[in-house]
């Protein structure tokens, strides 16, 4: 065909097949020859040549994409698939697929950030065999085709994801590319930075009175030591302002290792961030108060989450009632949940229940931290329970949970990306 001497011939007197495709291919070749000098070189098939392998993958994609989305794609006979997942496959991270924002393989691939992430695998220092890479490529492509067959993605989306998977598979066949991917993984990937202004005078005073305390540190806020150590580290990293009365510093954040893997593979569009440098926002309450005295408002333990949700949704029901009557509701529910216990223990129990509901958890998720074996007098369930607030109005955890779930759906509907 390249020389212009090949002529398609049909079988047993029939017209040649795929004449339209052949005609289009010859036209495209003619256009290319007008703009470029094309040199033809024969290479042995299946011999490891990178571009020959790429051509075969493109041919397979074209064949599979031409299949009707309502029919299962017809595939040539393959070797039996190995049991389990290839080493490093992110499907081994428990429960990921069930909670992923990218609810199908096609969109997961589109959201992936790295070559290995595209193939749903984490980077490793060991060179991965081409055979294992091909297994990952095949698995991703088959799942993309299943998405298309089910009609949950468009043909254009499927084509783009298959092409991305194939390209990453070909590129990762080169040792240097794999080494480069590992080098990138070893380097820190900062998600954002935050400017922080603290009260230097307030911190100097608390160091004098409580400098030897270690309560609440344990590595939090970038320090594992005393409060004096934390303040010294902040001062060393910061820049004095307003004649030394204030200190400005920068806190950098990263994802956890698992969070980064899931983000780079496209399973999620964001993950919980952790400070990689000194972070006064994570210090214990008393030290935090000294750091932000006269600068910011302390919201910890002041219903920060329900208040934020209330501002976003303008709720006038259970969420608004909880924020307005928090102290009374927590005390009444504390008595109901852990009868006979001290208030501090009851308070922890109610906070555990409310925090779980705020995160769209189950109404009885609190029982994992307050099991019947340790708290035999604890209430069995919060379902169908209610208490009176200071105005004599009923407050129900069932209603509160319904409000939170409805708010989540409302926010999700209006968000362009779930983070």
| Whether the predicted pLDDT of 170 surpasses 60 | yes
Q: What is the pLDDT of residue 410?
A: 76
Owner of token pair 């493109």: 58
Q: What is the pLDDT of residue 130?
A: 92
Phi-psi region of 241 (alpha: psi -120 to 50; beta: other; left: phi over 0): beta
| Whether the predicted pLDDT of 416 surpasses 60 | no
What is the rounded average pLDDT for all residues in the chain? 80
- In the three-class reduction of DSSP (H, G, I as helix; E, B as strand; rest coil), residue 185 is classed as helix
Q: CA 382, CA 322: separation in Å to the nearest integer?
A: 16
| Whether the predicted pLDDT of 115 surpasses 60 | yes
Question: What are 223-246's pLDDT values in tens digits?
Answer: 668 889 889 999 998 999 888 899
Q: What is the pLDDT of residue 17?
A: 63
| Residues 233 and 278 sit within 8 Å (Cβ to Cβ) | yes
| Whether the predicted pLDDT of 213 surpasses 90 | no
For the entire predicted model, the pTM comes to 0.53
| Whether the predicted pLDDT of 389 surpasses 70 | yes
| Residues 291 and 199 sit within 8 Å (Cβ to Cβ) | yes
* Other C-beta atoms lying within 10 Å of the C-beta of residue 201: 15
Using CA atoms, how far residue 188 sits from 88, 120, 124, 126, 191, in Å, is 20, 20, 15, 20, 9
Q: What is the pLDDT of residue 328?
A: 94
| Whether the predicted pLDDT of 1 surpasses 50 | yes
Owner of token pair 């305390």: 213
Q: What is the pLDDT of residue 91?
A: 45
| Whether the predicted pLDDT of 297 surpasses 50 | yes
Residue 417 banded pLDDT, cuts 50, 70, 90: very low
| Whether the predicted pLDDT of 301 surpasses 70 | no
With a CB cutoff of 8 Å and minimum separation 6, the contacts of 341 are 334, 349, 375, 377
| Whether the predicted pLDDT of 42 surpasses 80 | no
Q: CA 261, CA 109: separation in Å to the nearest integer?
A: 13
User: Could you tell me whether strands 239-241 and 386-388 are parallel, antiparallel, or unpaired per DSSP bridges?
Assistant: unpaired
- In the three-class reduction of DSSP (H, G, I as helix; E, B as strand; rest coil), residue 252 is classed as strand
**297-317 mean pLDDT:** 69
Q: CA 356, CA 359: separation in Å to the nearest integer?
A: 5
Q: What is the pLDDT of residue 64?
A: 55
**323-347 mean pLDDT:** 92
Strand partners, 316: none
Question: What are 252-280's pLDDT values in tens digits?
Answer: 999 988 889 888 998 888 888 888 888 88
Q: CA 104, CA 146: separation in Å to the nearest integer?
A: 10
| Whether the predicted pLDDT of 54 surpasses 80 | no
- In the three-class reduction of DSSP (H, G, I as helix; E, B as strand; rest coil), residue 25 is classed as helix
| Whether the predicted pLDDT of 80 surpasses 50 | no
Output the six-digit token pair for 131: 């055979």
Say how far residue 256 (Cα) sits from the centre of its chain: 10
Q: What is the pLDDT of residue 362?
A: 87
Q: What is the pLDDT of residue 224?
A: 67
| Residues 178 and 127 sit within 8 Å (Cβ to Cβ) | yes
**Closest by CA position to 184, among listed 172, 173, 196:** 172
């Amino acid at each position: 065909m390249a020389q212009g001497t090949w002529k398609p011939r049909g079988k047993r007197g029939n017209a040649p097949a795929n004449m339209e495709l052949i005609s289009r291919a010859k036209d495209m070749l003619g256009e290319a020859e007008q703009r470029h000098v094309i040199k033809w070189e024969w290479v042995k098939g299946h011999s490891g040549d990178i571009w020959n392998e790429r051509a075969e993958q493109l041919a397979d994609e074209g064949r599979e994409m031409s299949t009707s989305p309502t029919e299962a794609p017809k595939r040539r006979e393959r070797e039996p698939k190995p049991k389990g997942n290839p080493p490093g496959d992110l499907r081994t991270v428990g429960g990921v697929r069930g909670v992923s924002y990218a609810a199908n393989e096609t969109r997961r691939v589109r959201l992936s950030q790295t070559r290995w992430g595209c193939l749903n695998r984490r980077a490793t220092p060991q060179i991965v065999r081409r055979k294992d890479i091909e297994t990952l490529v095949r698995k991703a492509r088959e799942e993309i085709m299943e998405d298309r067959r089910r009609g949950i993605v468009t043909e254009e989306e499927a084509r783009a994801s298959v092409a991305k998977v194939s390209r990453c598979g070909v590129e990762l066949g080169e040792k240097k590319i794999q080494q480069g991917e590992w080098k990138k993984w070893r380097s820190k990937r900062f998600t954002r930075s935050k400017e922080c202004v603290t009260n230097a005078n307030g911190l100097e005073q608390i160091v004098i009175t409580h400098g030897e305390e270690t309560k609440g540190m344990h590595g939090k806020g970038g320090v594992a030591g005393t409060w004096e150590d934390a303040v010294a580290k902040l001062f060393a990293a910061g820049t004095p302002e307003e004649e030394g009365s204030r200190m400005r510093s920068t806190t950098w954040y990263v994802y956890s290792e698992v969070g980064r893997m899931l983000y780079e593979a496209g399973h999620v569009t964001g993950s919980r961030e952790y400070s990689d440098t000194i972070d006064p926002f994570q210090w214990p309450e008393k030290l935090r108060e000294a750091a932000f005295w006269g600068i910011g408002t302390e919201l910890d333990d002041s219903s920060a989450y329900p208040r934020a949700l209330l501002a976003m949704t303008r709720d006038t029901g259970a969420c608004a009632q909880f924020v307005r009557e928090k102290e009374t509701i927590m005390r009444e529910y504390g008595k109901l949940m852990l009868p006979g216990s001290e208030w501090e223990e009851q308070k922890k129990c109610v906070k555990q229940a409310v925090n779980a509901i705020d995160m769209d958890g189950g109404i009885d998720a609190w029982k994992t931290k307050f099991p019947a074996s340790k708290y035999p007098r604890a209430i069995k369930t919060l379902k169908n329970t209610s208490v009176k607030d200071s105005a004599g109005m009923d407050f129900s955890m069932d209603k509160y949970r319904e409000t939170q779930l409805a708010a989540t759906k409302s926010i999700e509907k209006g968000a362009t990306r779930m983070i």
